[in-house]
Structure 1
């Protein structure tokens, strides 16, 4: 997949992914005024124009990236796993399918997207990704 920000200063290449997930957490909604339309890419993300990326550490485990010229939201980066969750809007020609939604317990009532997608609460997400002892 190939995508770019609004102004074209940052381009991204990644292996094709056909699924998109939504994150309804309060932080994602504050960042974009809606859920993050997330494309999970485990490895092989290549950014061109990296000098135009501003990174904001939004938690102890993640940072968010955006184009410093046009403000386009580029990614959510899970630091410990070095995993990128890319904004689906970077790839307007991809045929994504909405398959899952997380932090549904924080989703406001004024929108509903895919009633048949797999849904998890914030607690369920944290339990799934908690370190195994």
Structure 2
């Protein structure tokens, strides 16, 4: 088991601060249409310990689908997280943290929806649209 690290970061204007711990600090990227609209490219998140996340500042949350929500700084618009409606989990934006928390990319979602090349370089898992829905929202299927 790897050592737990402390993460501390903020949005672009500094109005929102975020702290968390990460026992397994890895990066995941999502190329779905909603993530591309929200971020102008893939949404890259860092895996953190769910019960460790502390956020302060002017946060705005938007329910982006029946199963997900997006959050951003109300002042500067920086992306903060993508969360799951069913369990309240939050996948924090890796860009909030200096040097992306030192994490490495391990997985991409909706890899067949990536519009720019083949996504991120490296030898990591790339799940297709069908594989991603099977993992997170099996009832959605091809309705997205």
When normalised by structure 1's length, the TM-score is 0.89
Q: Deviations over 1:95-124 (max 9, x none)?
A: 110111110111014464224110101111
**Are residue 40 (structure 1) and residue 47 (structure 2) matched?**
yes
Bigger fraction of residues in helix: 2
CA–CA distance in 2 between the matches of 1:23 and 1:126? 12
Q: Which stretches in structure 2 are left out of the alignment for 5+ residues? A: 1-6, 140-144
Tell me which of the two structures has the higher relative contact order, counting C-alpha pairs closer than 8 angstroms and 6 or more residues apart: 1
Work out whether residues 77 and 84 of structure 1, in 8 Å CA contact, stay in contact via their aligned partners in 2: yes
37-46 or 90-99, which deviates more? 37-46
Q: How does 1:98-117 map to 2 (within 5 A)?
A: 98-110=105-117, 112-117=119-124
**TM-score, with length taken from structure 2:** 0.82
Shift of 1:8: 1.1
Residue 81 (1) aligns with residue 115 (2):
no
Give the counterpart of 1:5 among 4, 11, 15. Answer: 11
Number of residue-to-residue matches in the alignment: 129
